[in-house]
Structure formats: C-alpha cells, structure tokens
Structure 1
Amino acid sequence: MKIAILNLTLPFPGTSAFAETGRQIRDWIAPALPGSEFTILDIAQGLQLPVPDAYDGFIISGSEAGVYDQVAWMEPLKAFLLAARDAAKPLVGICFGHQIMAHTFGGHAEKAAAGIAVGARRFTLDGVETYANVWHQDQVVLVPPCARVSGFADYCPVGMLDYEFPAFSMQFHPEYSRAFLTREIGVILGKGIDPDLAERALESMARADVPADLMANRAAGTFRQFA
C-alpha cells in the first residue's frame, strides 16, 4: 500500500521547530500499517500536489496556516481533496487537515473564541474518554452535511469527524509526544507561545497519559478497508 503524507507545515521562522512533521506522522502510523510505503510530500515548501491515483491514500497534516489564509497551495489543496473524494481515495486529516477537509466538504472552520489550546486535553473519541495532545486555535464550527461528529472535548465540540465516504479527521495531533511538545515549546518560548500558556501546557502534559498509538489503528483501518 502506498500512502502519501501531505506535509503542510513550515518550520517556525528562524528555528527548527516543527521541521519534521511529515516524519512524525509517518512514525505514528507506520507500525499500524506494516509493509506499507510512505511518501512525505512537502507541499508547503512548494512541491506540487499529486494526482489522486498516484497513491492508495492520503494523510493531510497540520499547518500554521488557516483555511482562510491566502497561501499558494490552499485552493489547489481544496481541488485535490474533492478529486480524491471523487476517486474514493481514503483520507485522514490531522488538525489543519481536519479543518480544511470540513471546510472543503461543506462545513466551516475559523478562529475559535476558546482561544489557543496547547498541551494535553481530554477528549471523548468513539465514546471512550482519553487524552490527546493539541496545538491550535482554529476549529471546525459547522459540520459538513456528509459527516458526523465522532469525537469531542469540552472546549472543542467537533473534535473528530467521520465522513460518508472513506475519510475521517481529528483536531488533535496523535503524532505529537510529550517530549516533542516540551522541546518545541522551549524552542519558540516568547516568540511563538507566551510563558503563561507554555506553563499551562507543560502542566497539562505532566498530568496526562496520552497513548503513543492514539488513533493509529483507526487510521490504518480506514486505509486497509478502502485503499
């Protein structure tokens, strides 16, 4: 099976923070899909989007951009998602990927009044309570008519979506570990995150046990069933 990871993240300016997003996603999903081939496509750095038939399925990463931003790849990405849906290619969205999928398929995402969330938060996913790591402000605020909510948190009513076609998405970052978030917070402290928010994020992660394979088998099942 050939899975493409569409990396839509750029490193934080002047640092190496978030420079390995594609690799982290690969390392999260690969143990659940033994024998599969993963290709990281750095779309945010100018690589052209593939045609849907080039791969068996796609993972859409997070991004520092929002669905409303005028970046060069935004409109092509929306067109790609529609084409991938029409080709019945399985799609898995993470954070921004969750937002852009909802936005493209008839919902709406925007900056949330809840503000920026960083660290570990409690979610209910498929009816089971667990912790997940997050870093976002934007949220899906209108569910697409072709999707249903399958996960949520107290601050995030649309935390996970399942679609009528082969796709699901999540607002949280299953590929982010406590060690990774702790390191990135330190790198951009005072530049990309204020000290008070950083302290709360670190405290939340110290109290939570986030599964390393969170949603990996769920994502793998989507690919195995439909690819």
Structure 2
Amino acid sequence: MKIGILQTGHSPDNMKDQLGDYGEMFTKLLGGHGFDFKIWSVVDGDFPASAVDADGWLITGSKHGAYEDHDWIPPLEDLIRAIRETGRPLVGICFGHQIIAQALGGTVEKFSGGWSVGRTEYTVNGQPMALNAWHQDQVTAIPSSATVVGSSDFCANAALLYDDQIWTIQPHPEFGSDFIDGLIRTRGKGVVPDHQLEAASALLEKPTNNADIATHIADFFKKERP
C-alpha cells in the first residue's frame, strides 16, 4: 500500500539532520507496517498530479496557520476534497487536522486560551492517551460530516472522524521527547510562555502513547472499505 505524505512544513534547520524532516518522521512512525511512502512537499509547491497517486494520504504538521494566505493552501484544500471524493483514507496531524476541517467546512482559529505544549493527556477513541502537543490554533467548529472522537481539557475537538474515511488528530504522535526538547529550546523561547515551556521540560521523560496511535493509523489505512 502506497501512502502519500503531504508535507506542509519543515523541522527547524538545527534539528533536521539528526531528527528528520516532518515527512521522514511519519515514515519512521509507520515503519514496519508494510507501507511504501512518497513525500510531496506541498509547502514548497510540490503537489501530486492527482488524488489517486497514492492508496492513502497523510497531511503533516506545520508552523503555518490553516487560515493564513499562502499560495499552496487553496490547492491543498482542493486536493483534500478530491481525496474525499475518491474514497481513499486520509489522516491529518496537527496542521493536517486543521486544514482538513477547514477544507470540509469547519473553522480554525488562534485559540484564545493560548498554547498546548509538550506531553498532554487526551481521551482518544474512548481510551486515555498521553501525546505530545505543540499548537495554539484549534478547530473551533467542526464540519457537519465530522464526529469528535478525541478531546482534552484544553482542546475539545482534538480528534475527528469523517465517515470512517478520514481520521485526524491535533497532537503529534510523530514527536518524541527529543523533538519536543528541541522545539522548547528553538521555536518556543519568546513565543510560548516560559512557565509552559518549563512544565513541558519537566515531563520530557514521561512515556507517551505514540506507538498506540501509530498502530491505529496503520490499521485505519489498511481497513477494508466499500
């Protein structure tokens, strides 16, 4: 099964060589499940020719906002709707979660409650899960076709399911503690309140459910659909 990864952002330059770019993180996260991967860096204008160029699709995170004026966002929304029409499975992570919701009629905003950073506890698919977060934007109104399947005290619409074809989640199952530590030291300073960065640093050694979400994503891609 070929999974097309639509990369919508890049790792910080000083972390990319050691920890990988966003697309590579997902090939590692989903490695061992029998997939072939192709990465299209849509943030740089590199798009697939059509929605049938892969058997399943995944949209990565990004430092950009889904509501921002970038040349690559409208064609990405068009591609999301085209994928929906094909019936192929689609997964969205963080920005991917948000841009899918926006493309299908939802609302994404800079959340007035501030940031969620580091290890955060969620309920996902009815199970308690600890996953790494790094976001201020949120899906504040879900599309009519979406069902909420994950939430936290901070993020009401943390995971969404669309007719068993699209599954999206706000936190980052591809981020390990090393990557969060790097973000705290690079992108976090002067942007995220210091007390939140300190709290996130204190939780770096605690385990997360990244592997459980990876298995769920793999099973979601492989599921037989009409």
Give the 3 Å change call, closer, same or farther, for CA 70–51 of structure 1 in structure 2: same
Provide the C-alpha distance between the structure 2 equivalents of 1:195 and 1:146, rounded to a whole number of angstroms. 38
* Matched residue, 1:58: 57
Instruction: Give the match's secondary structure for 2:131.
Output: strand
Provide the C-alpha distance between the structure 1 equivalents of 2:188 and 2:99, rounded to a whole number of angstroms. 28
User: How big is the shift at 1:202?
Assistant: 1.0
Structure 1 residue ranges (4+ consecutive) displaced by more than 6 angstroms after TM superposition: none
Provide the C-alpha distance between the structure 2 equivalents of 1:122 and 1:131, rounded to a whole number of angstroms. 4
* Matched residue, 1:98: 97
Letter in 2 for 1:224: K
Counterparts in 2 of 1:9-24, with a 5 A limit? 9-12=9-12, 15-17=13-15, 20-24=21-25
* Matched residue, 1:218: 216
* Matched residue, 1:144: 143
User: How big is the shift at 1:29?
Assistant: 1.4
User: How big is the shift at 1:57?
Assistant: 0.7
What stretches of structure 2 of length at least 5 have no aligned partner? none
Contact 2:61 2:95 in 1 (8 A): yes
* Matched residue, 2:86: 87
Contact 1:17 1:188 in 2 (8 A): no
Give the 3 Å change call, closer, same or farther, for CA 217–192 of structure 1 in structure 2: same
Contact 1:90 1:226 in 2 (8 A): no
Instruction: Give the match's secondary structure for 1:169.
Output: strand
Provide the C-alpha distance between the structure 2 equivalents of 1:189 and 1:224, rounded to a whole number of angstroms. 36
CA RMSD across the alignment: 1.8
* Matched residue, 1:115: 114
Provide the C-alpha distance between the structure 1 equivalents of 2:96 and 2:198, rounded to a whole number of angstroms. 27
Contact 1:62 1:95 in 2 (8 A): yes
Provide the C-alpha distance between the structure 2 equivalents of 1:55 and 1:162, rounded to a whole number of angstroms. 20
User: How big is the shift at 1:65?
Assistant: 1.0
Give the 3 Å change call, closer, same or farther, for CA 213–58 of structure 1 in structure 2: same
* Identical pairs, percent: 31
User: How big is the shift at 1:54?
Assistant: 0.9
Provide the C-alpha distance between the structure 1 equivalents of 2:62 and 2:188, rounded to a whole number of angstroms. 19
Give the 3 Å change call, closer, same or farther, for CA 189–156 of structure 1 in structure 2: closer
User: How big is the shift at 1:46?
Assistant: 2.5
User: How big is the shift at 1:17?
Assistant: 4.2
Letter in 1 for 2:6: L
Give the 3 Å change call, closer, same or farther, for CA 50–205 of structure 1 in structure 2: farther
Give the 3 Å change call, closer, same or farther, for CA 189–139 of structure 1 in structure 2: closer
Provide the C-alpha distance between the structure 2 equivalents of 1:74 and 1:141, rounded to a whole number of angstroms. 19
Letter in 1 for 2:39: I
* Matched residue, 2:189: 190
What stretches of structure 1 of length at least 5 have no aligned partner? none
TM (norm. structure 1) is: 0.91
Letter in 2 for 1:212: N
Contact 2:108 2:140 in 1 (8 A): yes
Letter in 2 for 1:104: A
* Matched residue, 2:5: 5
Contact 1:160 1:171 in 2 (8 A): yes
User: How big is the shift at 1:48?
Assistant: 2.4
Contact 1:121 1:204 in 2 (8 A): no
User: How big is the shift at 1:193?
Assistant: 4.5
Give the 3 Å change call, closer, same or farther, for CA 162–189 of structure 1 in structure 2: closer
Provide the C-alpha distance between the structure 1 equivalents of 2:159 and 2:113, rounded to a whole number of angstroms. 17
TM (norm. structure 2) is: 0.91
* Matched residue, 2:73: 74
Letter in 2 for 1:218: H
Provide the C-alpha distance between the structure 2 equivalents of 1:153 and 1:140, rounded to a whole number of angstroms. 13
Provide the C-alpha distance between the structure 2 equivalents of 1:186 and 1:77, rounded to a whole number of angstroms. 31
